[in-house]
Structure 1
């Protein structure tokens, strides 16, 4: 699990939802920004993998961004945003296992054909015969 939190920058904004009297005064929503290309923490291959898998979250300027406004405090939102962006990037770096093609066994093929024949016979027996 890689922790690149030193490369993150933050923006704050007013959060919607619960907050009482503070909701219109305090900027509790936190947007975390990370410049994928400018990262010194990841190799070029890893950066390319991140850009491919997270292209819907990366804007035209090359920033991966995430907004969190779950909590009423800015500090908690900031911590959650860092956790989430690290989790998202780490998931993007996971290389899926290569699927090995397998063939059905002879008994599996025979079972399938037997069940098809059984169903066919059942339907054949339903027909009205003269």
Structure 2
């Protein structure tokens, strides 16, 4: 079974819940009376994403993911509700796309001969500096 690529993943509308809330910060009367900020919630475990993607999403060290496995995104940088909704969805898609890419496995290699020689030379120099810090003897 092959894992899907980031472009092959589709987000289902039923998996995403969003509510309009009042934005914070400057904006005067418009901010105080219009609910244009978006509070988006996406439950990772209840989503229709493949199991591998869900596991990698839950393993992310991101402050937007709660202990219950729910992604919470707040978008309030634009003046309209639609623009903030698109911004929140784009950020969610970017997070899912980052989790969908399978990390390459690290292949262990030997250090080169030159790097070994540089390391030994720096250790010798450091040992010489430390040896001069000892007690003065006559």
Query: Is TM (by shorter chain) over 0.5?
Result: yes
SS in 1 for 2:107: coil
What corresponds to 1:43 in structure 2? 50
Residues 36 and 63 in structure 1, CA contact (< 8 A), matched pair in contact too: yes
SS in 1 for 2:84: helix
Unaligned 5+ segments in structure 1 are none
Structure 2 length normalisation: TM-score?
A: 0.73
Structure 1 length normalisation: TM-score?
A: 0.77
Distance 1:84 1:37 in 2: 19
Unaligned 5+ segments in structure 2 are 1-6
1:85-107 per-residue CA deviation (whole Å, 9 max, x = no partner) reads 11012112232222222222233
User: For structure 1, which segment, 94-103 or 57-66, has the greater mean C-alpha deviation from structure 2 after superposition?
Assistant: 57-66
What corresponds to 1:71 in structure 2? 78
The counterpart of 1:32, out of the listed 16, 20, 40, is: 40
**Superposed displacement of residue 37, structure 1:** 2.1
Structure 1 residues 113 and 45, CA gap change in structure 2 (3 angstroms): closer
SS in 2 for 1:65: strand
